[in-house]
Amino acid sequence: MRVGNTIYLDHQATTPTDRRVLEQMMPFFADAFGNPHSADHILGWNAAQAIEAAASNVAALIGADSDEIVFTSGATEANNLALLGLAQSAVNGKRNRILVSATEHKSVLATAREIQRRLGFTVELLPVDVEGALSLKALKDKLSDDVLLVSIALINNEIGTISDITIIHELLTEFGAVFHCDCAQAPGVVDLKMLSEHVDMASLSGHKMYGPKGIGALFVRHSLQDRLHPIIHGGGQQRYLRSGTLPTPLCVGMGAAAEIARSTVAEVTPVLRRRRDRLVNGLGRLRWRTALNGPDLANRHPGNANVRFDGFSASDILAALQPKLAASTGSACTSGIPEPSHVLRAIGLSAAQAEASIRFSVGRQTTDQDIEDAIDLIDRALSKLVSGGMEVAV
Ligand code: PMP
C-alpha cells in the first residue's frame, strides 16, 4: 500500500478507512443526519436504527449482545471507562488492588496510575518474559480476594505478543477478579468470536480495524454493567454508562469495519503473515546485523515485525527513509517523547537496543512489491547512515 510515494508499513499505528466502510458512513453526515437520541421523529429513529445495527455488528465480532457495547471516542476512552469506572464504584470496598501487565498501552498504565493517586487503590505491574508473555506465576502469586481488576491486552501494540486469555480468565475466576482486556490491536488479525466468554470487559478502536478515527467501544458484560460508574456524565444516552450524542457516521463506520474484520479474518491472516515473514527474512539476508524483538514469527500478530538494527538509531533510520517509507519507533503514541519503549525495556532490552528498534506493521493492502521495495530502501538508508558517519556506537 502506498500513499503517494510513501510505502505504508505502520498499520498498527492506524489503518486507512476501508472504502466500503466510508461508503456506508457517507449518508449519515449530511442526509440522514438526525440526532439518534431524538425520540419524537423519523430522522431520529432512522439514526437510532443505524446505531443499533452498528452495535450489533460490533457485538457479533466478539460474540456479545448489542446491549453489551458502549461506544466511546476510541480505545483510550474505553480503557479509561473500564478501569476508572470500575474503581470508582469499588472505592472503600474490600477489593483494593489492581494488576496490570508492564507492557500495557499508556492509556491503561496512565489510567491505573491515576486510580492509585486519586482513589487510593494499589496498582501492581505484572512482569513479562522475553517474548512479552505475561508471567502466569507472578499473576498466580499476586491473586487473592482483594484484587478488583486485572487488565491485560490481547495483542501487544509494539511486539505483537498474543495473550492466552483462556488461562488468565480461569485463574481470575477463581478469585472473583474482573478481567479487562485491551483488544485494540486484535480485530481482523485473530478470531474474536469467543472473546466475550473469556473477558468481562474489552476495549476496541475503530481506526485500528480499517474504520474511522474518533470512535471505539467498550464491551461490558451484562452482569457487570451496574458496577461500572460512568466517567462522562450528561443525558445518559448509553444506558447511563456514557453520555453524549452518538456520532452516527462514526458508529456506522465502526460497525461496518467490525463486520468486514469478522468475515475476512480467516482469509486475511495468512496473507499478512506471508508478507510480514517476507519482510523479516529479507531484512535478515542483508549485510546488517538485525534481530527480531518479541515472539517468534509463528506466534505473534501476523502483521507485526519489531526489528532491531543493532548499532543504529531507529529514529535516524526512519528519518533517512523519509518520505519513502512509514514505520515507527516504539508506539506512535509515545513517539516524540525521548524515552525508550517501556515494552522493549520490559522484555529485557537495554535502552540502546530499544532505541535501535523499528516496528513495521503490514496491512490488508500491503503488496509483495511494497515489501521488496521497503527492504531495498532500508538497505540503502543503512548504507547512507554508515557512510555519513551517523552510525551509533554499539
Ligand atoms: N490500546 C492499544 C493496544 C493501542 O494500540 C492503542 C492505539 N495506539 C490504544 C489502546 C488507543 O487507541 P485509540 O487511538 O483508539 O485511543
Cell numbers given for 279? 519482510
Rounded to a whole number of angstroms, the distance between the first and last alpha carbons of the chain is: 34
At 388 the pLDDT is 79
At 82 the pLDDT is 98
At 68 the pLDDT is 98
Which residue type occupies 76? T
Contact (Cβ atoms closer than 8 angstroms) between residue 58 and residue 186? no
In the predicted structure, residue 230 carries a pLDDT above the cut 70: yes
pLDDT tens profile 247-259: 999 999 999 999 9
CATH superfamily of 2-15+266-387: Aspartate Aminotransferase, domain 1 (3.90.1150.10)
Contact (Cβ atoms closer than 8 angstroms) between residue 239 and residue 291? no
At 393 the pLDDT is 38
Catalytic residue list contains 333: yes
Distance 334 CA to ligand 1 centre (A): 11
Distance CA 212, CA 296 (A): 31
The model's pTM: 0.96
Cell numbers given for 255? 460497525
Cell numbers given for 280? 523479516
Cell numbers given for 195? 472473546
Confidence of residue 336 (pLDDT cuts 50, 70, 90): low
Residues with CB under 6 A from ligand 1: 74-76, 105, 107, 153, 157, 182, 184-185, 205, 216, 331, 333
The DSSP result for 345-368, as a single string, is HHTT--HHHHHTEEEEE--TT--H
In the predicted structure, residue 102 carries a pLDDT above the cut 70: yes
Cα-based angle 166, 171, 176 (whole degrees, multiple of 5)? 115
Distance CA 162, CA 171 (A): 17
Mean pLDDT of 365-375: 98
Our CA dihedral for 51, 53, 57, 58, rounded to 10 degrees, sits at 20
> Above pLDDT 90, what percent of the chain?
95
At 333 the pLDDT is 55
Q: What is the CATH number of domain 19-260?
A: 3.40.640.10
Which SS3 state, helix, strand or coil, does residue 390 take?
Answer: coil
Identical fold for domains 2-15+266-387 and 19-260, yes or no, is no
Q: What is the mean pLDDT of the chain?
A: 95
pLDDT tens profile 149-193: 999 999 999 999 999 999 999 999 999 999 999 999 999 999 999
Domain extent listing, the chain: 2-15+266-387, 19-260
In the predicted structure, residue 339 carries a pLDDT above the cut 90: no
| Higher local confidence (pLDDT), 370 or 92 | 370
Distance 259 CA to ligand 1 centre (A): 20
pLDDT tens profile 235-291: 999 999 999 999 999 999 999 999 999 999 999 999 999 999 999 999 999 999 999
Instruction: Please choose from 205, 254, 329, 359 the residue to mutate so as to test ligand 1's pocket, defined by most ligand atoms within 8 A of CB.
Output: 205
Identify the CA nearest to 297 among candidates 323, 326, 277. Answer: 277
Mean pLDDT of 58-66: 98
Distance 371 CA to ligand 1 centre (A): 25
Question: For ligand 1, what atom is nearest to the CA of residue 206?
Answer: 15
